[in-house]
Amino acid sequence: MITLHRKSSDDRADRIEERLRDLVLAYRTVTDESADPCFITEGDRKILPGEDMEEWFRNLAGELEWSRSLSGDGCYIDPDSGDVC
């Protein structure tokens, strides 16, 4: 499970969360006022903002694109509006 650990008020974490929503995948958010900087965990891996996180997002986007290309006629629920395709 992908988890974003963030402070309640953090512009960087807001941008990271927006990127996660844009990928249309399941993740959870944990608000932790001591999470400075914000970070993502995936299993036992901790991903900090910066080049490591950018590479992680690039790899994840590629894996999702490949996986979704195999599924044919897919449908998703828009996380912002709840609309179904």
* Domain extent for 46: 2-70
pLDDT at position 73 is 62
**Prediction pTM value:** 0.79
Q: How many domains does the chain have?
A: 1
Domain annotation covers residue 63:
yes
Q: How many residues does the chain have?
A: 85
Domain annotation covers residue 37:
yes
Going from the C-alpha of 74 to that of each of 14, 49, 71, the distances in angstroms are 28, 31, 6
pLDDT at position 71 is 64
Domain annotation covers residue 29:
yes
Listed in order, strand segments (DSSP E) in 32-81 are: 39-42, 45-47
pLDDT of 69 > 80? The answer is no
Tens digit of pLDDT for each residue in 31-58? 999 999 999 999 999 999 999 999 999 9
Which residues lie across from 39 on neighbouring strands?
A: 5
pLDDT of 16 > 90? The answer is yes
